[in-house]
Amino acid sequence: MRIYALHLAVVAALFAVQFALPAYHYGNVTRIMLYAVFAIGYNILFGYTGLLSLGHALFFAAGAYGAGLTAHWWSFGPVAALGAGVGAALLVSLVTGLIVYRTTGVAFLIVTLMLAQAAFLSTLYFNTVTLGDQGIVLSLPPVELFGAALHLADPAVKYNASLVAFAVALLLSLWLLRSPFGRVLIAIRENEARTRLLGYNTALYRFAALVISGTLSGLAGALYCLLFGYVGSSFASLQYSTLPLLWTLLGGTGVTLGPPLGTAITHYLIDISSGLTSSYMIIVGVALVAITLWFPEGLAGWFRRWRRVRS
């Protein structure tokens, strides 16, 4: 129960802090919470199941394009577009899961990388629909909720919609990973052969983990597209596959609160360095190398060890 209280406290703190944040950080925290949903989704596959994906941009972009294209071409309202985005991500996850059903290890990460790259190239190739690099700028009608009209351009709406998605993703992943299903995922990460020997259909569990992870990532993409009113090819680029890996590694793999923490730190690091140079992605490269060399367990692992030493 203590662990649920801790997670609820984080959500409550994020709700409370919106009344005190200056405008600039208000926007930053909104983005961080959305990206954190993506990171939480990534962590289910990488941190808990032990499958390293280099192509999660595929799912993020599936969500974003599912929402953006239906809203732009078929005039879907924000709620219907969100549903379409999540549905698209679910569909893409299912198909990807079937393709990689038997692959693990090195083959798994190469296939995910390549599928994401194929998706990226497709968004460029079908530019009459997606408008390619330039992307689609959306203008969406307000959402009617309890008689009030919520305008998506309003920063408070963006903040609280992101907070709701973050809370749902965080508590869902916590509940999932403490359930018997989550225990099997962890067992697969630790020793897949032994888990199979115990009678679990590990390929099926891996498939399920991929679908949940991909759909959560797609939820982040769909909301990002709707709240910021834009979707373009860059959403499917390698950068959006690298970032969730960095967020998860920095925060600590296999810890529910690790990836959100890693997301926040990375976001501010990139934010500061992009003011100094246009080659700000070098920060991401240096961070990845530094983590592999000196912090393989991330911040959460470091914190755990520090507590163990103290007690």
Partner 1 sequence: MITGPALLLALLEGSVGAAVLALTALGLSLVFGVMRVINIAHGEFVMLGAVVAWWCSADLLGAHPLLGFLVALAVAPLIVGAIALAADWLVLRRISYDPERTIVATMGLLYIIQQGVLMSYGPDARPLDPPIYFRVQFPGFGYSGYKLIVAGLALLLLAATWLLLARTRIGLYMRATRLDSETAQAFGVPVKRVYAIVFALGAMLAALSGVLIAPIRGAHYLMGADPLLLSFIVVIVGGLGNLRGTLLAAACIGIGEGMISVLFSPTLSKIIATLLVAAVLVVRPGGLARGATP
In the complex with partner 1, which residue's Cβ is closer, 121 or 153?
121
Report phi then psi at 302, rounded to 5.
Answer: -65, -40
Residue with token string 């083959």: 107
Contacting positions for partner 1 (CB under 8 A): 52, 54, 98-103, 105-107, 109-111, 113-115, 117-118, 121-122, 124-125, 238, 242, 245, 249, 277-282, 284-293, 296
- To partner 1, the closest distance from the beta carbon of 277 in angstroms equals 7
Least Cβ distance, residue 294 to partner 1 (angstroms): 9
In the complex, the smallest distance separating the C-beta of residue 55 from partner 1, rounded to whole angstroms, is: 11
Q: How far is the CB of 91 from partner 1 (least distance, A)?
A: 16
The structure tokens listed for 284 are 């991401």
Report the alpha-carbon distance of residue 230 to residue 233 in Å, rounded. Answer: 10
Q: Which one, 137 or 290, has the nearer CB to partner 1?
A: 290
Least separation in angstroms between CB 252 and partner 1: 14
**Residue 217: burial class (beta carbons within 10 Å; 0-12, 13-18, 19+):** buried
Give the nearer residue to partner 1 in terms of CB position, either 168 or 203: 203
| Of 6 and 107, CB closest to partner 1 | 107
Nearer to partner 1, 53 or 173 (CB): 53
